[in-house]
Chain A
Amino acid sequence: AQSVTQPDIHITVSEGASLELRCNYSYGATPYLFWYVQSPGQGLQLLLKYFSGDTLVQGIKGFEAEFKRSQSSFNLRKPSVHWSDAAEYFCAVSKAAGNKLTFGGGTRVLVKP
């Protein structure tokens, strides 16, 4: 069975500083990997996805993620955080692009002014 671990429950970062959110997955075959952001009162928004090809994936809002098969990781990064990036971030894995998703526990990001 597939599983996703996000080791950090909370992360506090100063505005303008860089951000990295960790995600480790467990899946026997080539995974389809996703990062979503959830803001209060809003649905989950897809930041980026990895299916194949270039292991460094660019997403919306200045986010990027790197797939490392050897480490079973798909960490999310942003060079300079804005106050509006404060939200809950979820890493997810599925067997195929439109299949059911298995989510990690989420990481709540707080941004200090």
Chain B
Amino acid sequence: GAVVSQHPSWVICKSGTSVKIECRSLDFQATTMFWYRQFPKQSLMLMATSNEGSKATYEQGVEKDKFLINHASLTLSTLTVTSAHPEDSSFYICSARPGTANYEQYFGPGTRLTVT
């Protein structure tokens, strides 16, 4: 149980285009999902927290107009990188938390984005 999937697992896009990454909780309902970014050989940095049906909360320094997050249902959150540039190339990881507080979060396998 507690499986989180991400799609696609890797994507290559051209500079200036937008790309959407999906995060799904497969066997539980996730009221909260988190989006992290991981540069090569570095740690995970939280980008934003999304709650189903409400606007995402972005961490300081993360451009909300560039990284659009939508948590439209209890099993799906999407991250859209708009007008992507090579510096947006990274590994994007989502996690999902069932229920409310005192539940651990479960991580997806990540999406490798390469912007050319």
Chain A positions within 8 Å of B, measured between CB atoms, are: 34, 36, 41-46, 49, 90, 96-106
Of A41, A43, A98, which contacts B100 at CB under 8 A?
Answer: A98
B32, A90: Cβ atoms closer than 8 Å? no
CB-CB < 8 A to B110: which residues of A? 43
Q: Which of A43, A97, A98, A105 touches B43 (beta carbons < 8 Å)?
A: A105
User: Closest CB of chain B to A29's CB: distance in Å?
Assistant: 15
In order of increasing CB-CB distance, the 9 nearest A-B pairs are: A44-B107, A43-B107, A43-B109, A98-B97, A97-B102, A98-B103, A103-B43, A103-B44, A105-B43
Q: Report chain A residues within 8 Å CB of B102.
A: 96-98
Interface of A is mostly: loop
Q: Evaluate contact between A98 and B104: CB separation under 8 angstroms.
A: yes
CB contact under 8 A between A100 and B49, given known A43-B4, A43-B109, A106-B43: yes
Task: Tally the A-B contacts, defined by beta carbons under 8 Å.
Answer: 52
> Measured between alpha carbons, how far is A90 from B99 in the docked complex, in Å?
25
Please, how many angstroms separate the alpha-carbon atoms of A101 and B43 in the complex?
Answer: 12
Could you say which of A41, A97, A102 contacts B46, with CB atoms under 8 Å apart?
A102
Asked whether B34 is an interface residue with its Cβ less than 8 Å from the other chain, the reply is yes
* Closest residue on chain B to residue A4 by CB atoms: B43
The interface size bin for chain B is 20 to 34
CB-nearest residue of chain A relative to B34? Answer: A100
Q: Give A101 to B34 CA distance when docked, in angstroms.
A: 9
- Name B103's contact: one of A97, A102, A105 (CB within 8 Å): A97
Given contacts A43-B107, A98-B97, A106-B42, 16 further A-B contacts (CB under 8 A): A43-B4, A43-B93, A43-B109, A44-B44, A44-B95, A46-B104, A49-B104, A97-B101, A97-B103, A98-B99, A98-B101, A98-B103, A98-B105, A100-B34, A101-B105, A105-B43
